[in-house]
Amino acid sequence: MSDPQSSTPVAAPQPEQGNRGGTIAGPRNLPLELENPDLLAPPSTDSGTLANLRFSFADAHMRLQPGGWTREVTVRELPISTNMAGVNMRLDPGNPSGVREMHWHQEAEWAYMLVGAARITAVDQDGRNFVDDVGEGDLWYFPAGIPHSIQALAEGCEFLLVFDNGSFSENSTFLLTDWFLHTPKSVLAKNFGVPEDAFANIPSHELYIFPAPAPGPLAADRVAGPNGEVRESFSYRLRQQDPIEAAGGHVRIVDSRTFRAAKNIAAALVEVDPGAMRELHWHPNGAEWQYYLEGQARMTVFASSGVARTFDYQAGDVGYVPFAMGHYVENRGNTTLRFLEMFRSDRFADISLNQWLALTPPELVRAHLHLSDEAMAALQKQKPIIVK
């Protein structure tokens, strides 16, 4: 292996620490090992057996369609994640642009726009409709069972979807074309009050993702219905929200208190400065599903019974923390670390280890940990969420 800058050989990392471990003598996947230094040579505090808590979208099957692509990290890829699943989808730019076919599903859908812009539509159970354009950093949320669509504007788009069930699959949603294909034409004719030959040209297979004329101005796509528009918007401009400033970065929290439609998925967008760390904490209301947007992270998850394991993450990776397990997320790179924390809940909630100790009678804390006076005083001064 050589460093492209200097062309001098760089020693490949080895699973060695002091007098423990040894060199790898057999076959190795060096690029993958370089991505996971804390798996290759774990910190000495790691112990015991813990489920896998990392899966990269780069290791996920790509479904290619005319008009875009999609890949998913579900319970099939990351078996511990029984309660949440994620999808990464691209809808192609241009005119025509990519459409995610009109559909619905049994799960609620929470989304974060990564790049570009899209027009989204939905209709709710009260016959109220919704149409909006969403751009980079915007969110949407469609409750379970609510029919919706997504189409790239001319610039194209790519987004992350998160579902409140690990068994979700993009390949088994209820598609408009699929239903038409599997309903007798006589029934379609009766249902819509038109002759059967009105359905002579319906597609012979599901569309799923396909190209269609790019949307025009938003105002032109507003359909005036008798019941008006949905009461709680299905979109949310996360970047317009003032972040919580922390010592080592900042955080935007979004749940049903701010984004009222988002009844079953809560999230935090976390930005951690180089050298800083999302503090030691846990969540009292569910498991955490993470998506890494940029930078390099290291997380150790503490599973009780003397079990702890450390994982590394970078852009495009999914991380997971089982319910109530203690963890931190450290920026191990020299650029900003940015990631999403997501929970199947109507609220974001966390318990800070620091705050727990700071708000407990000091003599009791001292009896457990034998901290110095200096450390006991520091506990009272530490700012929460992201430390530096």
* Residue ranges in contact with Mn ion by CB under 5 A: 109, 288
Token code pair at residue 276: 């800083």
Work out the number of other CB atoms within 10 angstroms of the CB of residue 70. Answer: 21
| Closer residue to Mn ion, CB minimum distance, 92 or 101 | 101
Do the beta carbons of residue 97 and residue 153 sit within 8 Å? yes
Classify 189 as helix, strand or coil: helix
Q: Please, are residues 119 and 235 in contact by the beta-carbon 8 Å criterion?
A: no
The token duo for 192 is 């819509």
- Output the six-digit token pair for 164: 């409140």
CB of 282 to Mn ion, least distance (A): 7
Q: List residues bridging with 312 in a β-sheet.
A: 298
Q: Which is nearer to Mn ion, 259 or 282 (CB)?
A: 282
Output the six-digit token pair for 316.
């495009």
Minimum CB–partner distance for residue 350 and Mn ion (Å): 6
* Residue among 117 and 267 whose Cβ is closer to Mn ion: 267
Q: How far is the CB of 285 from Mn ion (least distance, A)?
A: 11
User: Known catalytic residue: 341?
Assistant: yes
Select from 176, 114, 103 the least CA-distant residue to 144. Answer: 103
Strand-pair partners of 365: none
Q: Report the amino acid identity of residue 4.
A: P
Catalytic residue, chosen from 232, 341, 363, 374, is 341
Q: Which is nearer to Mn ion, 238 or 386 (CB)?
A: 386
Compute the least distance from the CB of residue 185 to Mn ion, in Å.
27
State in angstroms the smallest separation of the CB of 170 from Mn ion: 8
Q: Which is nearer to Mn ion, 109 or 132 (CB)?
A: 109
The span from the CA of 311 to the CA of 366, in Å, is 31
Enzyme catalytic residues: 341
